[in-house]
A = this chain, B = another copy of it.
Amino acid sequence: MKLHGYFRSSASYRVRIALNLKGLSAEHVPHHLRKGEQRDPSYLAINPQGLVPTLEDDRGAILTQSLAIIEWLEETHPEPPLLPKDPLRRALVRAFALALACDTHPVQNLKVLARLRQLGLPEDEVTGWAAWANHEGLSACDILIAGETGPFCFGEAPTMADLCLVPQLANARRFGVDLKSFPRLLKAEAAAKNLPAFADAAPERQPDAE
């Protein structure tokens, strides 16, 4: 398999963790987002959104969107599971993941911040926007799992929720968000970071890291 990504992309980071947890290896193909390589016609041909990640499987099938890739990995390589068995618990895990993947990350991604700059916003307001988006999403997520004993977001093993949380917390720190008010999220992050699958997927451990 090939994983088209970028070391700092949190959506790529999610898929790297999933591959590691499933014990799958993939050749990493970096696309430098800040240099605009994701808009190269050869990349747009496999990912019309011009976003990372894209996964090419061994038979050449092309998959886009990190959560669709993770659901596919879960269906084709079920062990260890990244979703609980019970439908209601699955819905809670997915809702947590989507609160970050839909309502948080895309509102603060490179493309949106670039657009804000084009509209004339000064750099401190651009960073403030990104911090706001992260704070809004993480605040809600901290409440969503307040009643979960953990140590992971949902139970004693990582799920799709943790795959989204750990990269989002890395973003939040880059934008200066004070995370002290999210103790439950930090507890889940600490549990995750003890696992090599998470540690090895970290941006600073990727070959294209700067």
Contacts and interface: CB of A to CB of B under 8 A. Distances in A.
Interface residues of A, number: 45
Interface stretch (A23-31, A91-99, A148-156, A190-198): A91-99
Given A87-B75, A88-B72, A101-B102, A94 B67 contact: yes
Given A49-B136, A63-B88, A107-B112, 19 more contacts: A48-B139, A49-B99, A49-B103, A49-B140, A51-B103, A64-B144, A65-B99, A65-B102, A67-B94, A71-B94, A72-B88, A72-B94, A98-B102, A102-B106, A103-B106, A106-B106, A106-B107, A107-B107, A115-B129
Given A68-B94, A87-B75, A102 B102 contact: yes
B115 A119 contact: no
A179 interface: no
A108 B168 CA distance: 21
Interface in A19-55: 48-51
A72 to B, nearest CB: 4
- How many copies of this chain does the complex contain? 2
Interface of A: 48-51, 57, 61, 63-65, 67-69, 71-72, 75-76, 87-88, 90-92, 94-95, 98-99, 101-103, 105-107, 111-112, 115, 119, 121, 125, 129, 132, 136-137, 139-140, 143-144
Given A65-B99, A115-B129, A132-B115, A71 B91 contact: yes
A78 to B, nearest CB: 11
A178 B27 CA distance: 40
B115 A94 contact: no
Q: For chain A, what secondary structure do more than half of its interface residues adopt (helix, strand, loop), or is it mixed?
A: helix
A65 to B, nearest CB: 4
